[in-house]
């Protein structure tokens, strides 16, 4: 978490009097707030995520999430289906099953994020560790490819010299060139697969960061609500 993020939260008290972000998150999300009202998370007309104690009527049809006092998703109201989608939904049970599955997915995702990370920087560090391993693999594969291509060039140079001298290029040498070219093709395929993995890892961690940011926004919302209750004037 950057200093810029924390700055708005720091009041006139000494910095040592503040909880760490991890303790702050735990206190707000997992503290004694069992009787707090549910919150609702939805998208406004600008596409921004909003957390509030109610959903405006004009946004209900777009769908929203219901959060408990711990900030964990306890319910999902799916968006209103288009006529075409409605035709595809052959039963109410099917829609309910989808909503339940999405509710479970989001709950598990939120709980996992809160268990593993305390700050956005924690997620970014985990992302870098995962990418480092993949990058090393790609580097090794590219090194192997360079070695294979050098061997091919050596054999081709030998074959060209033999032809210049009017000699027939032996089958063993030609077979070696073919085998090496197949290895190069297989290596290219492995490199492409690792690069797709890198893209997938980046996408996964980007989604984690976005979701975790939503959780932090909810923490700030609860903090503001708490301040209003403590100081109604």
> Hunting for tokens 């735990």 — which residue is that?
26
- Alpha-carbon distance 202 to 130, whole Å? 9
Which pLDDT value is given to residue 233? 58
Predicted TM-score (pTM) of the model is: 0.52
Per-residue pLDDT band at 142 (split at 50, 70, 90): very high
Q: Are 67 and 103 in contact (CB under 8 A)?
A: no
pLDDT in tens, 150-194: 999 999 999 898 888 888 888 898 999 999 999 999 999 999 999
How far is 31 from 24, CA to CA, in rounded Å? 10
Confidence (pLDDT) at 19: 40
Inter-residue contact 217 to 29 (CB < 8 Å): no
| Per-residue pLDDT tens over the stretch 75-101 | 999 888 777 777 776 667 777 888 889
76 CB neighbour count, 10 Å cutoff: 20
Distance (Å, rounded) from C-alpha 209 to C-alpha 218?
14
Mean pLDDT of all residues in the chain? 82
């Amino acid at each position: 978490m950057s200093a810029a993020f924390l700055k708005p939260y720091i009041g006139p008290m000494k910095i040592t009097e503040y909880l760490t972000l991890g303790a702050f998150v735990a206190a707000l999300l997992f503290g004694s707030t069992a009787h707090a009202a549910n919150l609702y998370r939805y998208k406004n007309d600008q596409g921004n995520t909003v957390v509030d104690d109610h959903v405006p009527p004009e946004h209900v049809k777009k769908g929203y999430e219901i959060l408990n006092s711990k900030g964990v998703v306890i319910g999902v109201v799916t968006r209103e289906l288009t006529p075409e989608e409605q035709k595809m939904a052959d039963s109410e049970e099917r829609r309910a099953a989808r909503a339940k599955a999405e509710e479970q997915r989001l709950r598990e995702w939120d709980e996992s994020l809160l268990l593993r990370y305390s700050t956005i920087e924690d997620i970014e560090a985990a992302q870098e560790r995962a990418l480092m391993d993949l990058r090393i693999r790609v580097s090794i594969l590219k090194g192997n490819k360079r070695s294979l291509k050098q061997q091919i060039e050596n054999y081709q140079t030998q074959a060209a010299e033999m032809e210049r001298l009017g000699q027939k290029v032996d089958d063993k040498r030609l077979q070696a060139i073919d085998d090496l070219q197949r290895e190069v093709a297989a290596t290219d395929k492995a490199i492409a697969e690792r690069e797709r993995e890198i893209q997938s890892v980046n996408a996964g961690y980007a989604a984690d960061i976005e979701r975790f940011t939503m959780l932090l926004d909810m923490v700030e919302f609860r903090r503001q609500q708490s301040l209003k209750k403590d100081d109604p004037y």
